[in-house]
Amino acid sequence: MNSNKHWLEPDWPAPGHVHAATTLRTGGVSSGGFASLNPATHVGDNVEAVRQNRQIIKAMLGLPAEPVWLEQIHSNKAIDAAKSQSLEQADASYADKPGVVCAVLTADCLPLLVCNTGGNRIAAIHAGWRGLLSGVIGNTVAAMGNQDLLVWLGPAIGPACFEVGAEVREAFIEKSAEFATAFKECGNGKWLADIYQLARVDLASLGIDRIYGGHFCTVTDHDRFYSYRRDKETGRMATLIWRD
C-alpha cells in the first residue's frame, strides 16, 4: 500500500494484525466541492459517485468487508459494529471480532482510533466538541473493557483555526478544570480551542497516556483534507480500523 497516495496510515505501535487508515480527499470520482474521494452519503453529493468512492476505498485498502457506517449525530453513543444490522445513529463503534471494519466520517471533527495492546479489540470514534463534552470517548473505552489501550488522533481542525464561544469553554471547564489548557483567548469573547488537547485531557482522565497523532489541520491542508468550516459544501474523510 502507498500511504503517500490517497490515504494516511497511523503512526502508532499497534500490533501487526491491526490495520487502519484515514482516506484523503484525492483519488475518487466526485466533483465540485466534493472532489474527489467522498464516501459520505449525507452531504449532498451524487449518490452513484459516493457508491463508486466507497468501492474504491474498499479496493485500495483491501478491506475484508464493507465498513460499518454510522449516522453520526454528535452523541456519546458507541455500538458493537459486529452486531450492527443497519445504519445506526451513533458516533463510535467497536469490535472484538476479525474482519469487522469500524469507520467514522469527518471533515474537521476529530477521528480517534483505539486498539488494545493485544490487538483483539478495536474502535473508531467521531468526536466533535459536543461528543467530547458528553463523553463519547469514555463510553467507547468502557465498552471495550478499558484495558491497555493505544489511541491515534487523526486529521481534525487545528488549534489555530477552531474558534468557539465562551460558553463552549465554560462547559468544558465546568466538567474539569484540566480542560482550560485547551483554550486560548482570541478577543471579542471568542476562544481558540485545541480539539487534540481536549481529547488528550479526556484520555488522561481515563488513565490512557499512549496517544499518537494529533498534528494535522484539516482547514489549512486543502490539498489533502475536506473541511466543513473552510468550505461548507464539502465531502468527508473516512477513518477506518479492522483486524485479521
Comparing 1-5, 6-10, 29-33, 208-212, the range with the smallest average pLDDT is 1-5
* Res 159: pLDDT: 98
Note down the domain range covering 37: 7-156+216-243
Q: Whole-model pTM?
A: 0.97
22 has which bridge partners? 8, 239
Where residue 4 falls among pLDDT bands split at 50, 70, 90?
low
User: Is there a domain that residue 211 lies in?
Assistant: no
Helices 136-144 and 195-205, interaxial angle, to 10°? 40
User: Is there a domain that residue 232 lies in?
Assistant: yes
User: Is there a domain that residue 181 lies in?
Assistant: no
If DSSP codes are grouped into helix, strand and coil, which group holds residue 35? coil
User: Is there a domain that residue 182 lies in?
Assistant: no
User: Is there a domain that residue 91 lies in?
Assistant: yes
174: left (phi over 0), alpha (psi -120 to 50) or beta: alpha
Report which of 225, 220, 212 is spatially closest to residue 155, judged by C-alpha positions.
225
User: Is there a domain that residue 164 lies in?
Assistant: no
What CA–CA distance (Å, rounded) separates 37 from 203? 31
Mean pLDDT of 122-130: 98
Distance (Å) of CA 167 to CA 73, 164, 173, 191, 192: 20, 8, 10, 10, 12
What CA–CA distance (Å, rounded) separates 235 from 220? 16
Q: How many CB atoms lie within 10 A of CB 53?
A: 25
- Domains: count for the chain: 1
